[in-house]
Amino acid sequence: MNIKVPASSANLGIGFDTLGLSLNLFNEFQFKPNFTDKLVNFPDTLEDNLVYMAYTAFFAAHKTPHRRVVITQMTQDIPVARGLGSSAACILAGVFAANEIGNLGSSYAECVRFAADYEGHPDNVYAAAYGGLIGVFADNEKYIHHKFELHKSLHFTLLIPSQETNTKELRDVLPEKIALDDAVHNLARIAQLPSALAKGDISKLNLLLDDRIHEPHRLPLLASEEEITQLKRHKDIAVVLSGSGSSLLVLSKTPIDDYLTDTLLATYKAVAVDIGAKLEIIK
């Protein structure tokens, strides 16, 4: 059995910890029952491997000994530590494999909910599981999610740095409290975001995707900060951090080649991506 899970870009600027967008970059894993546990084509050990850890954790949640398995990483197109949901992809694959191989009987929604609890960031998990742009929030012990419409005219481009970044540092830099004015600034914009996305109104998206909660604290930690700041000033594109960074997601109506300076391209690789991909189980 193979499981393909797409990349995801969380936050979309003003949707901090609430929005996630799936992208057509995939990690694919193969699971085969075996007499002993084994990893193939992974750089880490069983004790540190997120796919295996999620796999065994889902069995444990069902109070069932896990079935021994060989897990092979078939493809790895999602860069690690770049804000593109690589951890969510690994965890979703492990959970769904456990459910299938162990005949654990959980529904799709139950598997996704467990993965979100395990990962700690439901925005990435729900986007990868359901595809497209997903809004999600926790209500006691359950998650409520909704899929938003995106206009077909919108182009999405990732700017992915060549080097891994310190995800913990990008998360720890956030303040414990935010100013009331900054909270209102984001709330006023997110209320109009679904309409602008559905209409493909890029000039309005440029104004709406102006975050004051997390991006001002994270952008100074990124390479080529000055060039990124200049890029964000263009009125006919919208630029947001992907997750906590260090990748950036650019929304536009046309390809963005003319906006990318040599300095920026020396640090970031531009990758045009499609949206809407979702988790796939291949038996």
Residues of 149-160 as b/e, b for ≥16 C-beta within 10 angstroms?
ebeeebbbbbbb
How far is Cα 205 from Cα 268, in angstroms, rounded to an integer?
A: 23
Burial of 231 (0-12, 13-18, 19+ CB in 10 A): buried
- Label residue 169 by pLDDT band (50, 70, 90): confident
Closest CA to 40 of 69, 81, 1: 69
Please name each of the domains of the chain with its CATH number: 2-148+276-282 (3.30.230.10), 155-273 (3.30.70.890)
Peptide bond into 247 cis (omega under 30): no
Find out whether 97 and 58 touch, Cβ atoms under 8 Å: no
Closest CA to 227 of 213, 248, 252, 255: 248
pLDDT at site 130: 98
Q: Which of 33-42, 97-106, 216-225, 238-247 has the lowest mean pLDDT?
A: 216-225
Note the pLDDT tens digit of each residue in 51-78: 999 999 999 999 999 999 999 999 999 9
Burial of 217 (0-12, 13-18, 19+ CB in 10 A): middle
Give kind and range of the element (H or E) at residue 159: strand 155-161
Note the pLDDT tens digit of each residue in 113-161: 999 999 988 999 999 999 999 999 999 889 999 999 999 999 999 999 9
Burial of 233 (0-12, 13-18, 19+ CB in 10 A): exposed
Mean pLDDT of the chain: 94
pLDDT at site 182: 96
Provide the token pair at 12.
Answer: 């979309």
In 3-state terms, what secondary structure has residue 263? helix
Closest CA to 233 of 212, 254, 207: 207
pLDDT at site 225: 87
Q: What are phi and psi of 187, to 5 degrees?
A: -65, -40
CA 206 distance to own-chain centroid = 21
Find out whether 252 and 236 touch, Cβ atoms under 8 Å: yes
Q: The tokens 């005219």 sit on which residue?
A: 153
| Axis-axis angle for helices 50-61, 86-101 (nearest 10) | 40
What pTM value is reported for the model? 0.94
How far is Cα 209 from Cα 204, in angstroms, rounded to an integer?
A: 9
How far is Cα 111 from Cα 105, in angstroms, rounded to an integer?
A: 10
Closest CA to 157 of 276, 76, 262, 237: 237
Q: The tokens 């006023």 sit on which residue?
A: 188
Nearby residues of 167 by Cβ (< 8 Å), 6 or more positions away = 81, 83, 244
Q: What are phi and psi of 100, to 5 degrees?
A: -75, -50
How far is Cα 158 from Cα 226, in angstroms, rounded to an integer?
A: 18
Residue 165 clears pLDDT 80, i.e. is over it: no
Tell me the one-letter amino acid at 43: P
